[in-house]
Amino acid sequence: MRVLPRHLRIALLVAACLSVLAIPTPATAAPALPMPAGWPLRGAPVVQQGFSPPALAWASGHRGIDLVARPGEEILAAASGTVRFAESIAGKPVVSIDHGSVRTTYEPVVSTLRVGERVELGQVIGVLKTGGHCLGCLHWGLREGRNYLDPLLLVGNRGGRLRLVAESQREVVEREDAARAMAAGSATQTSAVTPSARLGSHGFLHPVIGAVTSGFGMRLHPLRKVWKLHDGTDFAAACGTAIRAPYAGVVTRAFFNPAYGNRLFLSHGSVDGVQVKTAFNHAARYLVRPGQRVSRGQLIGEVGSTGLSTGCHLHLMVWLNGQLSNPMSWL
Ligand SMILES: [Zn+2]
Ligand SMILES: [Zn+2]
């Protein structure tokens, strides 16, 4: 048997590894998107969770968008095409439709369509089931080969939807900025403010876009059934929702606590003459590390339900001059 030179064997091994890992590469040419195209739901769908694809193929991320929808709601083809897939993957019903070079996916959706069947834009392709990664939502995906694309590209040319497109693009840009800043050792001081995020009188943002479900003060603890101080403000949001730095600062600590789950502390220094610190609790994970500088609006983590928690939410805490305070008195 002929033995290959060592450098050639290494080169072949590297090539084999790269083909197995299938690292997603940015599409070099603009994808050929089906036209016309539209939303997979009737009315004016609300984006619950935007597109934030992982930098690496195997990393976690959100490879599509989540639209608020009721179980049993009819799901529509986003463009004309051919049914590529309509069955369950790991117990989750998925429908996918080919539109030339791109494919749209819909889950969890049960369909009676057959593979190879032709569908038209707006045609009912199935009904929404429960059991996806968010409660009451349709996960809508768009891909071109191995590349995941933002499905909002399909509806971005419609009036009134551009804000959502900008928001999801901002998320990708911010993630790239954070990765670059992490590599460089210091974050860039941009003030990336999410358009729909609320800005308080001291210039602090709400760290998640979600309803306040429990305020600061005495309450009967939902799990421990005792009256105690609820030492922060709860924002309800689906697991995976972006948590953003409410203000520029430095990450001082990040650790797990059995009650607060995954915690992250930010020190914002002196703001309007007050020393301000914030803490984030119950997150699924954080994307920044102690010592790192963060800018206002920067993506710092994802909402979760770690620790003593009854569901996905962010428990935000604020200290003013070292005194634990009502976050809403400052935000
Ligand atoms: Zn999703
Ligand atoms: Zn709470």
Condensed to tens digits (0 to 9), the pLDDT of residues 167-179 reads 334 444 444 444 4
Task: Determine the Cα–Cα distance for residues 234 and 220; give it in Å rounded to an integer.
Answer: 14
Cα 136 to ligand 1 centre (Å)? 11
Cα 233 to ligand 2 centre (Å)? 6
Residues 229 and 324 in one domain: yes
| Nearest ligand for residue 49 CA | 1
For the chain, the domain total comes to 2
Cα 32 to ligand 2 centre (Å)? 46
- Nearest one of 247, 318, 243, 242 to 277, comparing CA atoms: 318
Assigned domain for 175 exists: no
Cis ω on the peptide bond leading into residue 327 (within 30° of 0)?
no
| Nearest ligand for residue 60 CA | 1
Cα 135 to ligand 2 centre (Å)? 20
Cα 234 to ligand 2 centre (Å)? 5
The CATH number of the domain holding residue 263 is 2.70.70.10
Boundary (domain end) residue, out of 105, 137, 158:
158
Assigned domain for 172 exists: no
Using alpha carbons, list the distances in angstroms from residue 122 to 43, 126, 163. Answer: 12, 11, 23
Boundary (domain end) residue, out of 121, 141, 158:
158
Assigned domain for 43 exists: yes
- Between 116 and 195, name the one with better pLDDT: 116
Q: What is the DSSP string of 29-94?
A: S-----SS---SSSS---EEE--B--SSTTS--B-SEEEE--TT-EEE-SSSEEEEEEEEETTEEE
Cα 316 to ligand 2 centre (Å)? 7
Task: Determine the Cα–Cα distance for residues 251 and 37; give it in Å rounded to an integer.
Answer: 43
Residues 211 and 323 in one domain: yes
Cα 280 to ligand 2 centre (Å)? 10
Q: Tokens 């689906």 sit at which residue?
A: 238
Assigned domain for 65 exists: yes
Banded model confidence at residue 27, pLDDT cuts 50, 70, 90: very low
Assigned domain for 16 exists: no
Assigned domain for 142 exists: yes
Residues 99 and 199 in one domain: no
Residues 215 and 132 in one domain: no
Banded model confidence at residue 184, pLDDT cuts 50, 70, 90: very low
Residues 261 and 132 in one domain: no
| Nearest ligand for residue 239 CA | 1
- Nearest one of 184, 150, 189 to 170, comparing CA atoms: 150
Q: Which tens digits make up the pLDDT trace of 138-156?
A: 999 999 888 888 888 888 6
Q: Which residues crowd ion ligand 1, with CB under 5 Å?
A: 66, 139
| Nearest ligand for residue 230 CA | 2
Cα 307 to ligand 2 centre (Å)? 11
Assigned domain for 246 exists: yes
Residues 261 and 142 in one domain: no
Residues 126 and 242 in one domain: no
| Nearest ligand for residue 151 CA | 1
Residues 71 and 112 in one domain: yes
Residues 140 and 251 in one domain: no
Residues 199 and 141 in one domain: no
Banded model confidence at residue 97, pLDDT cuts 50, 70, 90: very high
Residues 201 and 137 in one domain: no
Query: What pLDDT, on the 0 to 100 scale, is given for residue 111?
Result: 93
Assigned domain for 192 exists: yes
Residues 319 and 224 in one domain: yes
Structural domain boundaries enclosing 89: 32-158
